[in-house]
Chain A
Amino acid sequence: MTEQQLMALLPFMVLAAASIVIILLIAFRQGHTVIQVTGFLLMCLVIFAMWYVRGVLPQTIAPLLIVDGFGALFTGLIVFCVLVVGLFSYIYFEEREENPREYYILIFLSTLGAAILTISRHFMSFFIGLELLSISLYALIAYLRTRNNAIEAGIKYLVLAALTSAFLLFGMALIYMETGSMDFAVIAQRLNAAGKSSALFLTGFGVMMVAVGFKLALVPFHLWAADVYQGAPSPVASFIATVSKVGVFAVFLRFCQELHLQNNSAVMMLISAVAILSMISGNILALRQQNLKRLLAYSSIAHFGYLLVAFLPGNNTGVEAAVFYLTAYAITILAAFGIIILLSPGEKDADSLSMYRGLFWDKPFMAIVLTVALLSLAGIPLTAGFIGKFYVLTAGVEQRAWLPVIVLVITSVIGLYYYLRIISTIFADSPVTIQKERSLNQFFYTASYAALVVLTLLLFGIGVMPAVIIQGIKQFLVIDR
């Protein structure tokens, strides 16, 4: 390993070190606040490290990893999400019964897994990253272990994740059997040399799709999503919705790009089918949902269906659209979960829609942030979600993927119904106040509010001036070419 390769890995090493630092802090009996602040600073350090090493990119660390603009972009998005989730976690866990300190170890480990996924170029690193992500998640989901829902959700996730991981390994084995390699680039070469893709490869890919579909909660592997979102502590749910999915999507995108699977009609057919099914079922399931966390789960199923439409073209526009969409989506979902977290009283989460009736009259700031987030999810102009959806549509239309595009448009209309339903609830009269005693630590409240303001401004900022973000994405994507 050269010095430059080592340098390129610096952000990831800082990320790995973060968990160890937290363990040491716990060993030295430090309090929640110290751990939180240290964790926050460490995440900032990761971002700083990434900025610091930008000159040496791209670096291939054969055979497992490649640190390039693509990886840096996704890692940046992941770390940003973790920063926000971490900030919200403080208030959430400070008011809960459980000792919160080990939570941060798990979160950072999980983040490391997701980050490794974004830079992996080999089945080995793919699998290791995925398991690192998942295993921490099992514990995270069940973190509030005295609650029935939490344990149940954790077990469900464990059983299904184990099942699908087995399929992932099986799929990898089939592809290895066919091509004799686990390196993405080499697989691509071998497949190219062979000309037509074989049935064995297709089967292998199909089986791998099970695991990817499971992690991204795509239909028909989506059934866990609602239960897990509901059962998991809200910060963890937002973590699953953002970090975990961004990581898995990144590696999947890289794999398909590397192998030029977008030119493979069979694979595209499969992905379109999954996309269409996800858009339809996600939106229909959400229609009459009364639980906000479950609703967000269904909405995320639909959103990843939309994302796959952007993914279909496989050219630069597609990748840009996908990254842009993910960014907009992550910011939006963080804002929505931020509100849930801040509103949740100690004993349970504020997830029932009835708790939001007339929120505007009681807590106008929260109501406005949540409204903006929901409008962005629905893709209303002037919000980031609109530009994201527009971008996805453009990519889809360019590829002439008419069926997915039409389904996208129709299901977006259906989706509008349940987003507006929540908004109308928020602005309804007869306010029900959510009783919540002020936390001891005013500083973190202020910080969380500030984070929400930043997220809301970003939603508008990206919605009004998308060119800035798009330019940034393009610049990053150029690095690996």
Chain B
Amino acid sequence: MHQTLSLIPALPLAGFLILSLLGRRLPNRLVALIGAGVISAAAIIAIWLGISFLQAPPDSGAYSVELWRWMSVANFNCSFSLHVDALSLVFVFVITFVGALIHIYSAGFMKHDRDYARFFASMNLFVCAMLLLVMADNLVLLYLGWEGVGLCSYLLIGFWYETTANVQAANKAFYITRVGDTAMAIGFFLLFRELGTLDIPAIQKLAPEHFTSGSPIITAIALLLLAGGMGKSAQVPLQTWLPDAMAGPSPVSALIHAATMVTAGVYLVARMHVLFQLSPLVMSITAVIGALTLFIAGCSAMVQTDIKRILAYSTISQVGYMFLALGVGAWSAGVFHFFTHAFFKALLFLAAGAVIESLHHEHGIFKMGGLKNKMPLVFYTFLAGAAALAALPLITAGFFSKDQVLWYALSANGGNPLLWIVALLGAFITAFYTTRLMLVVFWGTEKTHVGELPGRLMTLPLVILAILSICAGFIEWPHNMLHITLFSDLVQKVLPPVVEAEPVPSEALFQLIAVVATFSGVFVGYLLYRKNTSIIESWKQTPAMVWLRDFFYTGWKFDELYNILFVRPFVFITQLNKQDVIDKIYAGIVSLFQRLNGIFSVSQDGSVRTYVIGVLIGIIFILALQLIL
């Protein structure tokens, strides 16, 4: 068991090593076979592990294995150990399973790219790092995985590095997540200073004894960890990198910027829930940030014209739901939403990639249209994903998870009506922009000629993900419907159950309101983009609406704000210091030694006379030294 545990991250690592060292010499077929094969093998092991975990849960609640001692300095011990409990298991399953499907899809999607091996090598490394992140037994190893996924994200966003914009997008993602990473590292340092350990089980045991609830230090630590999670998970105000990150290939967006990496923040908060529970203030902040994010990003998603940017803003918004759930204390609801979201959002990105590829790299949705009959398979799978995203009741996975989040935003101990209203508004917006996307892309008249249709390698993952987008929710039903709570039973081995506020309002009523909101979103979308398109035309003449559209389109002007707040002052300072004052010191040292070299070289004039004088001076020097002493 222990050895198989280490195989899960080791296989992708092996794939990375083989592909990065030999990739250029291998035929494409073999590259794909290795790249997708190792992930599939890891997925099979993970599933097998999951089954045995469910059948006979280990006594300690987790499988763990210490591979080797990493470092041991004074009283700081850090081992390279893996620890898989129910929470990690969910993440490991999603990473390997969805990862494997995306790798298979990529084998078809990237087949014309000349850097085929580099793509698979980076993807494999990403999976390895992501697995380390969720399987880490201590925060140092988690940090290794955390930085590893950041690196791979950077490499893959800038995968087509010949275009400057792609490189800039990669840089932007790297810088902005770095803000969060730095905060998180400081949080780790504080935690180590307080508890003297970075082992996650030890922290979970020690923290409640060591910290008093709501003390400034625990608030600071939790806040710093939250900042780290916000950076990786693109939460307001660190969300601006994700829409630009769509510069990478579509499978990258599906794997990294939808299914896995952007949910690392969710994992971190859930994993460190003990610390967050000790600070009610930070819990509320988490919930508020989640709510704000889901609303801000949802608004932006309504007006985007690039199919991938719509999905990117939608991702930010959905991760906002997860943060909201975590913030109100509905831990399992947050993780459940991650679980379903991974399927339908990966599906949407992959299907969007197929559309883009068939339309000769066309990203604009208004240049698409009429694809319903031209690409039926992509249409039906996309429809399944969109329905899940819009959370159509009872028939989609998205409904089951989002319903929980909405319900707990109101009824959980940390929830309140305001959060619920924002979340409800978000549900409406989500349904609206999803409908808009579907109608514009798949209905109407054909505007761009459809080229090559996706092959079987690409459609198979779409179908599997579509099935999961529909069915994955059936393992967890709302309390008032069926009593099936498989998912929360599993993760509540690790995460505390929700504490509901008293008195509990009637759940069915609020469910009905949510359903109404969803359907009205769909209806408004239908009204504006299918039934009566003249309304939009009239809005285009109204200055206020145009301004609002522009405001949403540019992501609430966050980029401009940061430009004024950070970029321009920085550029100003660098301009002031154009001469580089600090460098003067080093220039001084250099010229000092050059001069010394000149002085010393005088003695090397080549005449024996001087050399003899040198020897004599030496003798006098030695004798004088002896006499003095």
Which residues of A are at the interface with B, using a C-beta cutoff of 8 A? 155-156, 159-160, 163-164, 167, 199, 202-203, 206-207, 209-210, 213-214, 219-221, 223-224, 226-227, 265-266, 269-270, 273, 281, 284-285, 287-288, 414
6 nearest A-B pairs in the assembled complex, by CB-CB distance? A220-B618, A206-B622, A223-B611, A266-B629, A287-B597, A223-B614
Question: Which of B457-465, B486-494, B495-503, B600-608 is the interface stretch?
Answer: B600-608
Closest to A203 in B: B626
* 24 residue pairs from A and B, CB less than 8 Å apart: A156-B611, A159-B608, A160-B611, A160-B612, A160-B615, A164-B615, A203-B623, A207-B619, A210-B619, A220-B614, A220-B615, A220-B618, A221-B614, A221-B615, A223-B614, A226-B604, A266-B629, A269-B629, A284-B593, A285-B597, A285-B600, A285-B601, A287-B594, A288-B601
Contact assessment for B615 and A163 in the assembled complex, using a CB-CB cutoff below 8 Å: yes
Contact assessment for B604 and A285 in the assembled complex, using a CB-CB cutoff below 8 Å: yes
Closest to B590 in A: A417
Contact assessment for A227 and B600 in the assembled complex, using a CB-CB cutoff below 8 Å: no
Complex: how many Å from CA A164 to CA B610?
15
Contact assessment for B612 and A159 in the assembled complex, using a CB-CB cutoff below 8 Å: yes
Which residues of B are at the interface with A, using a C-beta cutoff of 8 A? 593-594, 596-597, 600-601, 603-604, 606, 608, 610-612, 614-615, 617-619, 621-623, 625-627, 629
Taking the nearest CB of chain A, how far is it from the CB of B588, in angstroms? 14
Complex: how many Å from CA A287 to CA B599?
12
Given contacts A160-B615, A163-B615, A269-B625, contact A227 B593 (CB under 8 A): no
Taking the nearest CB of chain B, how far is it from the CB of A280, in angstroms? 9
Taking the nearest CB of chain B, how far is it from the CB of A479, in angstroms? 34
Taking the nearest CB of chain B, how far is it from the CB of A161, in angstroms? 11
Contact assessment for A270 and B606 in the assembled complex, using a CB-CB cutoff below 8 Å: no
Given contacts A220-B621, A284-B597, contact A270 B626 (CB under 8 A): yes
Contact assessment for B610 and A288 in the assembled complex, using a CB-CB cutoff below 8 Å: no
Complex: how many Å from CA A414 to CA B589?
10
Contact assessment for A213 and B600 in the assembled complex, using a CB-CB cutoff below 8 Å: no
Contact assessment for B606 and A227 in the assembled complex, using a CB-CB cutoff below 8 Å: yes
Closest to B619 in A: A210
Contact assessment for A270 and B625 in the assembled complex, using a CB-CB cutoff below 8 Å: yes
Closest to B615 in A: A221
Complex: how many Å from CA A202 to CA B627?
9
Point out which of B597, B601, B623 has the most chain A C-beta atoms below 10 A from its C-beta.
B597
Residues of chain B with a CB closer than 8 A to A414's CB: 593
Complex: how many Å from CA A285 to CA B621?
21
Given contacts A203-B626, A266-B626, A288-B594, contact A223 B619 (CB under 8 A): no
B615 interface neighbour in A206, A210, A273, Cβ under 8 Å: A210
Given contacts A156-B611, A270-B625, contact A284 B596 (CB under 8 A): yes
Closest to A288 in B: B597
Residues of chain A with a CB closer than 8 A to B618's CB: 210, 213, 219-221
Point out which of B600, B612, B617, B618 has the most chain A C-beta atoms below 10 A from its C-beta.
B618
Residues of chain B with a CB closer than 8 A to A160's CB: 608, 611-612, 615
Point out which of A167, A199, A223, A288 has the most chain B C-beta atoms below 10 A from its C-beta.
A223
Complex: how many Å from CA A155 to CA B607?
11
Residues of chain A with a CB closer than 8 A to B601's CB: 285, 288
Taking the nearest CB of chain B, how far is it from the CB of A278, in angstroms? 11
Contact assessment for A214 and B615 in the assembled complex, using a CB-CB cutoff below 8 Å: yes
Taking the nearest CB of chain A, how far is it from the CB of B424, in angstroms? 61
Contact assessment for B626 and A223 in the assembled complex, using a CB-CB cutoff below 8 Å: no
Taking the nearest CB of chain A, how far is it from the CB of B341, in angstroms? 47
Complex: how many Å from CA A6 to CA B285?
90
Q: A206-B619, A287-B593 are in contact. List 20 more A-B contacts (CB 8 A).
A: A156-B608, A156-B611, A159-B608, A159-B612, A163-B612, A202-B629, A203-B623, A207-B619, A210-B618, A223-B603, A223-B610, A223-B614, A227-B604, A227-B606, A265-B629, A266-B629, A269-B629, A281-B600, A284-B596, A288-B601
